Amino acid sequence: MSLLTETDLAEIGAVLPRLYAAVGWNTAKAPDWDVFRRCCHRQAVLVPMGSGAATPVPLDAFVAGMEGQRASGAIRSFDEVELGHRIEGYGNLASVRSSFVATIDGIDRRGVTFAHLVREEGRWLILAAAWENEREGAPLPADLI
C-alpha cells in the first residue's frame, strides 16, 4: 500500500540510486561524500549486516570508515548500482526495499537494502538503512531483480 503521490514516488525512488552512485570510487574518481550526506538525515544510522549481526553506524562514522578503506588501499575500487526497488509510504514516511549489485575490486556482490525515509523541509532523506548481501540459500527476492 502506498499513499504517496507520483512525484513522491519518483523522488523517493531516486534517493538510493543517488546514494549508491555517490559512494563509489576508482583510480580516476573519488566518492562524492557531499552528495552521499545530502541523501541522508543528519542523524541517519546505517546498519551493515555483513557479519550477520546488526552493527549500527552513525553517518559520519560510516563515511570515515569507507574513506579509510579507500585511502589505505584496502578497497581500490567500489561501484554500486540499484537493480530494482519497492516503495511503500504514508504522508511524510516511506520505506524502500532496494536490491543492488556492488562491485568491489572487480568482484560482484548483490544484496538488499531496507531504508526508512522521512520528508523534511520538502526533501526525502534516509533516516535509517540496513543492508545484507545475498548468500547461498538466500537469493535476492525475484520482485527486486
Q: What whole-number distance in Å separates Cα of residue 74 and Cα of residue 67?
A: 10
Q: What is the residue range of 137's domain?
A: 2-144
The SS3 call for residue 75 is coil
Residue of 23, 85, 12, 29 lying closest to 48 (CA atoms) = 23
Residue of 92, 91, 124, 122 lying closest to 17 (CA atoms) = 124
Residue 2 — pLDDT band, cuts 50, 70, 90?
low
Q: Structure pTM?
A: 0.92
Interval 125-136: pLDDT, tens: 999 999 999 988
Interval 95-135: pLDDT, tens: 999 999 999 999 999 999 999 999 999 999 999 999 999 98
pLDDT greater at residue 138 or residue 77: 77
Find the mean pLDDT for residues 13-39: 96
Residue 78 — pLDDT band, cuts 50, 70, 90?
very high
Say yes or no to pLDDT of 50 above 90. no
Q: What whole-number distance in Å separates Cα of residue 117 and Cα of residue 128?
A: 7
| pLDDT at res. 3 | 81
Find the mean pLDDT for residues 14-30: 96
CATH number at residue 58: 3.10.450.50
Counting the structural domains of the chain, the total is 1
| pLDDT at res. 116 | 98
